[in-house]
Amino acid sequence: MKVNGLPTKCRWKECLKCTCEGQLKECLHCKYTKRENSIPKENFTVKDKDGNDHLITEITVIVGEDGDIIGWHN
Ligand SMILES: [Zn+2]
């Protein structure tokens, strides 16, 4: 899996610490960490509307203003 568009500087990692330990509401640090961990690391296949498999080997991430990962697309 090739991941394009990863931020070279992760601003949130430098200035955010976890503040939600023991609390119900998730802090930004944990939210951003979770999103980053959700980026696929292995190739995967998707089915198109005709039922054909397509191997996805490359994705591009969408980066927010804190250097956080908002999402990704192939
Ligand atoms: Zn936290």
Q: For residue 20, how far is its CA from the centre of ligand 1 (angstroms)? A: 4
Q: What is the pTM of this model?
A: 0.82
Please give the single-letter amino acid code of residue 33.
T
Q: Does pLDDT of 16 surpass 90?
A: yes
Would you list the domain boundaries of the chain? Answer: 2-73
- 29-33: Cβ within 8 A, 24+ apart: 31/68, 32/66, 32/68, 32/69
CB 1 within 8 A of CB 37: no
CA 51 to chain CA centroid, Å, is: 27
Q: Which of 6-10, 30-34, 48-52, 61-65 has the lowest mean pLDDT?
A: 6-10
Place 60 in a pLDDT band, splitting at 50, 70 and 90: very high
Q: For residue 30, how far is its CA from the centre of ligand 1 (angstroms)? A: 4
Q: For residue 66, how far is its CA from the centre of ligand 1 (angstroms)? A: 16
Q: For residue 10, how far is its CA from the centre of ligand 1 (angstroms)? A: 17
Q: What is the pLDDT of residue 11?
A: 86
Mean pLDDT of 30-37: 95
